[in-house]
Structure 1
Amino acid sequence: MKERHQCVFGDTDAVKSVSVTEGDSITLNISLTEIQKADQILWYFGTNKSLIAKINQETGNSYTSDGRFTNRLKLDNQTGSLTITNFRTTDSGLYEVSIKNSSSEAKFRFTVTVYAPLPVPVISSNSTQNSSSGSSSCSLLCSVVNVSHVTLSWFKGNRLVSSINVSDLSISLSLPLDIECLDDSYSCVVAYSFTNQTTHLNNTQLCQPCPDCTLCCHIAEAVTRLVISAVVGVATVFIMVYEITSRKGEKK
């Protein structure tokens, strides 16, 4: 199911910037509780102000575009808000609504930018770097293709480890990561400012898990106890030998 956004706007002096992913839906809401009887609502698109939707409450007539937005517009007769479904990259641009009555006119503007869907990041073994360095550490590479205006990041749990961003159009982007072993949940995230895609590192073929900390603690504890027991035993034998030697000396 595609995501539907609600963009509420009530300031006639500013332009509301809206970001959306291709294929999603969005509602441009002008914060009118109810259209008055004499109101006329007109929605325009682009710098040439092509009329795409209209409501005339006085006559009861309404209209939505049968061109660029065929079967993709829904105009709310009560509030004047406009819902656009299945966004395309060509739908980026300026959307303007004019609310008219007998005594006044108000205008609201939205600048909508449509982005291509984010790809799912791919995590692979960075074997070239691993073999050249001769290190026993785990060298990983997170990659995405055909992206622009994104940030690519590595996370360890919720902590950001490293990141890189790009503004160029349609390029491939990669981010390496070197770790000793899998001691926590690692993930790679590619993100726009308003949405993201995440891949979690759970392939032990790429990186072996670190030794169980609990087991390590138990081994260390056992070794410590063994050492203490040995020291106590040696001390006991020393004391016994000392006492026997002392008693023999007193008899003489």
Structure 2
Amino acid sequence: MKHAGRYKLQINSKWFDFYLVVIVSVTEGDSVTLYSVLTGIKDGYVIRWRFRNTVIAEINKRDDRYTVNDDVLDGRFRDRLKLDNQTGSLTITNITMKHTGDYDLETNFNAFIFLTLTASDIYTTRSSLIRLIVYARLPVPVISSNSSQCSSSSSSSCSLVCSVVNVSHVTLSWYKGNSSLSSISASDLSISLSLPLEVEYQDKNTYSCVLNNPISHQTQHLNITQLCHTCSVHCCGPTEAVIRLVLSALVGVATVILVLYHIRSRRAEGDQAHIHTSGSA
């Protein structure tokens, strides 16, 4: 970050100016320190930190004044700025998406690296540019079955889907071990993403769904046993289980009644036969 700023390049008798922009990426809620190129602020120094052309912090050694303007720009920096009076470095705490943008460090003294210095370079204004990119915290992907009911025992594959909601600048991917199977990306718009996957019921490989942006990632591992099952193994919800239990009980009761009826009928037939034989005698 300390290398950001204006550089001069001399080729033969011609001078070329160019700026080195440092890009800093952070996650929402984190803190970041924007370092100045100064090792110490001497008397006479005036440095200013600007965000979108608005001064948010200033050190004026001439007047011995140190200022943090955290109420500017709708108060997005309120209670978030910490200025180092010795080096001029600026710390932003509890970063939000509103803090994404370009930050300029301005000083009235030359504080950058030049191949050749001339007298006119010494007291002109110099500017250092730092581009801060803030990424939202990533949610954990959700893996679910694509089917609301269990599959028949004759089916050989299981349909799954990995999904996330309200994301931007991310990529959602399915992995088999360490190998990428498929992926889908979101642009700067906040959208929902879903990515399907077909696996065999008896597949013993390791699958995972990964959501990532340039600085972080979230991973959800697939539990095939939990999400992929056939009806013959597991399919009955609480209501269906109760119904099956009641039906089984009714069948059992009916069977007992039929057996008792059969026994009584045989006994009645035996009694009638005995009476008939006694009467004949």
TM-score, reference length from structure 1 = 0.69
Percent identical across equivalent pairs?
A: 53
The residue aligned with 1:93 is 101
Task: Please point out which of 132, 136, 154 is paired with 1:112.
Answer: 132
Q: Does 1:37 align with 2:58?
A: no
Task: Please point out which of 74, 77, 85 is paired with 2:82.
Answer: 74
CA distance in 1, matches of 2:59, 2:162: 50
CA distance in 1, matches of 2:96, 2:139: 17
CA distance in 1, matches of 2:149, 2:183: 19
Q: Secondary structure at the match of 1:204?
A: helix
CA distance in 1, matches of 2:82, 2:203: 50
Match for 1:195: what amino acid?
A: S
- Measured after TM superposition, the shift of residue 44 of structure 1 is 0.9
> Does the CA-based 8 Å contact 2:24-2:133 persist in structure 1?
yes
> Does the CA-based 8 Å contact 1:153-1:189 persist in structure 2?
yes
CA distance in 2, matches of 1:131, 1:139: 10
The residue aligned with 1:171 is 191
Q: Does 1:122 align with 2:122?
A: no
Task: Please point out which of 194, 204, 214 is paired with 1:183.
Answer: 204
Residue-pair matches, total: 199
Task: Please point out which of 182, 192, 195 is paired with 2:213.
Answer: 192
CA distance in 2, matches of 1:111, 1:168: 17
Match for 1:71: what amino acid?
A: D
CA distance in 2, matches of 1:36, 1:129: 74
CA distance in 2, matches of 1:79, 1:131: 66
The residue aligned with 2:5 is 11
1:77–1:103 Cα change, 3 Å: same
CA distance in 2, matches of 1:169, 1:130: 36
> Does the CA-based 8 Å contact 2:103-2:131 persist in structure 1?
yes
- Measured after TM superposition, the shift of residue 60 of structure 1 is 3.2
Structure 2 gap ranges (5+):
7-18, 110-121, 230-281
CA RMSD of aligned residues (A): 2.6
Structure 1 gap ranges (5+):
1-6, 209-252
CA distance in 1, matches of 2:128, 2:168: 29
TM-score, reference length from structure 2 = 0.63
CA distance in 1, matches of 2:2, 2:132: 13
> Does the CA-based 8 Å contact 2:45-2:61 persist in structure 1?
yes
CA distance in 1, matches of 2:149, 2:2: 50
Deviations 1:21-73 (A, max 9, x none): 32222111233332333322100111xx2111011234432111230211101
1:169–1:23 Cα change, 3 Å: same
> Does the CA-based 8 Å contact 1:9-1:30 persist in structure 2?
no
